[in-house]
């Protein structure tokens, strides 16, 4: 069976469009999706519809057409671009090929020439058939109360990984993870969000800041203005893209249930819920668990970790677990001097002092929740429909107490 080829045509006028359309109608593979001479409108259509090919007619203002090809080459790499013109001067053909066109179609198009060009587009498309997308595991380290040590735990869990891992600072307004890793990022989440429709491997790599050969940071924007522009949908897209490039994506979200944090938690395979053993933090954790229940998160998605644990804390752990209705999977000892020194030096403790008690326990937790194993199990695609529904509704409806 012949593979249909979806096509968008940017013509240089009505007559020119009719002519190309007639030529295409003679080839049974051609499916014309959109056409006309409004370059801006067609640009949007091409990015949205991702046709197999776009025919760009170079009229009197051929420079404009060449710039259009350049732009599409960068933004729609999976669409084969075909330049077309009545004037087949070698300068024009070469110029359009250099700008990124795959083929040149001489106008008026003869049936033979059109067939040859579409054959080549067809070959290009068969090479483009996507390999199934890789999907790394996403772990959010979350606390509904500030100051419990989530950034410290997230950084150190990520640093335990032996596989390709990216740590993502989702405190978009006031992220401080560069300090935890002693790095000075040039680019941030805002750059990734702005370029989200064209994030290939090289671009992803250029926006993250490497810490070591297998750990990188996607920093929060330095300016609050840039953070304001980031929408939950952008967060969703960027995180999905990161999962294709990294085996582990470790998130450090805010301590609130705002829509960006919900976008991140919803997408995560696992949530490490961090608390300290004091009454306000325990209450806040219980409320977070109630919210997770209301959001429909399975309890197995949540792993409770106590940070700053000490034997001196006069609280019966069994009572705490009973109150929360969940077991605690890890107890990171309290050692302020050691923790704060590692932060001040910008070195994750699990790497700078692997033998200390905090590091040992964080490594044990990483093994328990399988962060860092090089093999990644295939999992289901997240239910975007649920996520979409969440943000179409007012998040506060979901988060408000039932019956309130
Ligand atoms: N296990 C620990 N023992 C002692 N101090 C710790 C421990 N873990 C973290 N801390 C200290 O707690 C402080 C807060 O840590 P961190 O910034 O990671 O918390 P956070 O929950 O991310 O806070 P924020 O509300 O700023 O996001 C830091 O000074 C850190 O050194
Ligand atoms: Mg923090």
Give residues with Cβ within 8 angstroms of 289, minimum separation 6: 273, 302, 324, 325, 326
**Whole-angstrom Cα distance, residue 255 to residue 247?**
25
**Whole-angstrom Cα distance, residue 272 to residue 140?**
6
Question: For atom 29 of ligand 1, which residue has the closest CA?
Answer: 340
Query: Are residues 172 and 300 part of one domain?
Result: yes
Q: How many residues does the chain have?
A: 404
Confidence (pLDDT) at 402: 41
Ligand 1 mean position, distance from CA 151 (Å): 7
Which CATH number goes with the domain that contains 86? 3.40.50.2300
Q: Which atom of ligand 1 is nearest to the CA of 155?
A: 18
- Residue 4 near ligand 1, beta carbon < 6 Å: no
Ligand 2 mean position, distance from CA 142 (Å): 9
**270 to 169, 267, 370: CA distances (angstroms):** 17, 9, 10
Residue 118 lies in a domain: yes
Query: Are residues 148 and 30 part of one domain?
Result: no
Ligand 1 mean position, distance from CA 68 (Å): 50
Question: For atom 16 of ligand 1, which residue has the closest CA?
Answer: 149
- HEC per residue, 33-50: EEEECCHHHHHHHHHHHC
Question: Does the pTM exceed 0.75?
Answer: no
Query: Are residues 153 and 93 part of one domain?
Result: no
Give the number of domains in the chain.
2
End position of a domain, from candidates 75, 109, 128:
128
Ligand with an atom nearest the CA of residue 335: 1
Q: 307: number of CA atoms within 13 Å, CB side?
A: 26
Cβ count within 10 A of residue 255: 18
**Whole-angstrom Cα distance, residue 216 to residue 221?**
16
Query: Are residues 114 and 212 part of one domain?
Result: no
Ligand 1 mean position, distance from CA 105 (Å): 63
Give residues with Cβ within 8 angstroms of 232, minimum separation 6: 259, 260, 262, 263, 391
Query: Are residues 311 and 394 part of one domain?
Result: yes
End position of a domain, from candidates 77, 96, 128:
128
- Residue 146 near ligand 1, beta carbon < 6 Å: yes
Residue 93 lies in a domain: yes
Ligand 1 mean position, distance from CA 147 (Å): 5
| Structural domain harbouring 42 | 5-128
Query: Are residues 211 and 76 part of one domain?
Result: no
Residue 96 lies in a domain: yes
Low-confidence ranges of the chain (pLDDT < 50): 375-404
Query: Are residues 98 and 182 part of one domain?
Result: no
Residue 252 lies in a domain: yes
- Could you give the 3-state DSSP secondary structure of residue 119? helix
- Residue 338 near ligand 1, beta carbon < 6 Å: no
Q: Quick check: 376 and 163 in contact, CB under 8 A?
A: yes
- Residue 362 near ligand 1, beta carbon < 6 Å: no
Query: Are residues 262 and 172 part of one domain?
Result: yes
- Residue 149 near ligand 1, beta carbon < 6 Å: yes
Cβ count within 10 A of residue 135: 19
Q: Which atom of ligand 1 is nearest to the CA of 339?
A: 31
Give residue-wise pLDDT tens across range 127-160. 766 566 678 999 999 999 999 999 999 999 999 9
Query: Are residues 99 and 141 part of one domain?
Result: no
Q: Which atom of ligand 1 is nearest to the CA of 171?
A: 27
Ligand 2 mean position, distance from CA 381 (Å): 28
Q: What contacts 24+ positions apart, CB below 8 Å, involve 189-194?
A: 189/218, 189/219, 189/220, 189/221, 189/227, 189/230, 189/238, 190/221, 190/226, 190/227, 190/229, 190/230, 192/218, 192/238, 192/241, 193/229, 193/230, 193/231, 193/234, 193/235, 193/237, 193/238, 194/229
Question: For atom 31 of ligand 1, which residue has the closest CA?
Answer: 340
Residue 244 lies in a domain: yes
**Residue with token string 């990188």:** 216
Residue 210 lies in a domain: yes
Query: Are residues 105 and 177 part of one domain?
Result: no
Query: Are residues 356 and 240 part of one domain?
Result: yes
Residue 404 lies in a domain: no
Choose one of 152, 156, 169, 258 to mutate for the ligand 1 pocket test, by most ligand atoms within 8 angstroms of C-beta.
152
Confidence (pLDDT) at 131: 60
End position of a domain, from candidates 107, 128, 149:
128
**Whole-angstrom Cα distance, residue 395 to residue 398?**
5
Query: Are residues 152 and 257 part of one domain?
Result: yes
Which CATH number goes with the domain that contains 190? 3.40.50.300
- Residue 343 near ligand 1, beta carbon < 6 Å: yes
Residue 271 lies in a domain: yes
């Amino acid at each position: 069976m012949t593979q249909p080829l979806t096509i968008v045509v940017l013509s240089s006028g009505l007559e020119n469009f009719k002519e190309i359309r007639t030529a295409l109608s003679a080839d049974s593979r051609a499916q014309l999706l959109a056409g006309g001479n409004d370059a801006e409108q067609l640009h949007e259509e091409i990015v949205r519809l991702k046709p197999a090919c776009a025919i760009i007619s170079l009229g009197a203002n051929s420079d404009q057409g060449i710039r259009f090809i350049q732009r599409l080459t960068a933004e729609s790499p999976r669409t084969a671009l075909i330049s077309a013109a009545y004037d087949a001067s070698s300068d024009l053909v070469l110029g359009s090929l250099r700008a990124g066109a795959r083929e040149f179609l001489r106008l008026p198009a003869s049936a033979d020439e059109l067939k040859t060009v579409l054959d080549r587009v067809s070959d290009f498309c068969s090479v483009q058939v996507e390999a199934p997308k890789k999907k790394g595991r996403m772990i959010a380290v979350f606390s509904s109360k500030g100051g419990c040590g989530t950034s410290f735990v997230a950084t150190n869990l990520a640093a335990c990984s032996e596989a390709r891992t990216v740590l993502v600072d989702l405190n978009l307004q006031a992220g401080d993870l560069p300090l935890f890793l002693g790095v000075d990022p040039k680019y941030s989440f805002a750059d990734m969000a702005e370029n989200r429709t064209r994030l290939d491997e090289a671009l992803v790599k250029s926006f993250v800041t490497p810490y070591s050969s297998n750990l990188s940071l996607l920093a929060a924007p330095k300016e609050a203005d840039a953070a304001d522009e980031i929408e939950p949908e952008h967060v969703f897209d960027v995180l999905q893209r990161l999962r294709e490039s990294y085996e582990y994506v470790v998130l450090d979200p805010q301590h609130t249930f705002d829509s960006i944090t919900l976008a991140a938690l919803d997408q995560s395979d696992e949530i490490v819920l961090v608390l300290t053993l004091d009454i306000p933090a325990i209450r806040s954790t219980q409320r977070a668990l109630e919210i997770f229940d209301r959001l429909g998160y399975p309890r197995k998605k949540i792993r409770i970790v106590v940070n700053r644990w000490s034997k001196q804390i006069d609280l019966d752990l069994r009572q705490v677990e009973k109150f929360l209705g969940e077991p605690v999977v890890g107890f990171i000892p309290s050692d302020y001097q050691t923790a704060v020194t590692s932060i001040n030096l910008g070195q994750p403790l699990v790497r700078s002092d692997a033998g200390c008690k905090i590091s040992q326990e964080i490594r044990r937790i990483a093994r328990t929740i399988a962060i860092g194993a090089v093999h990644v199990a295939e999992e289901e695609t997240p239910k975007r429909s649920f996520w979409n529904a969440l943000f179409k509704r007012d998040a506060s409806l979901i988060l408000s107490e039932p019956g309130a």
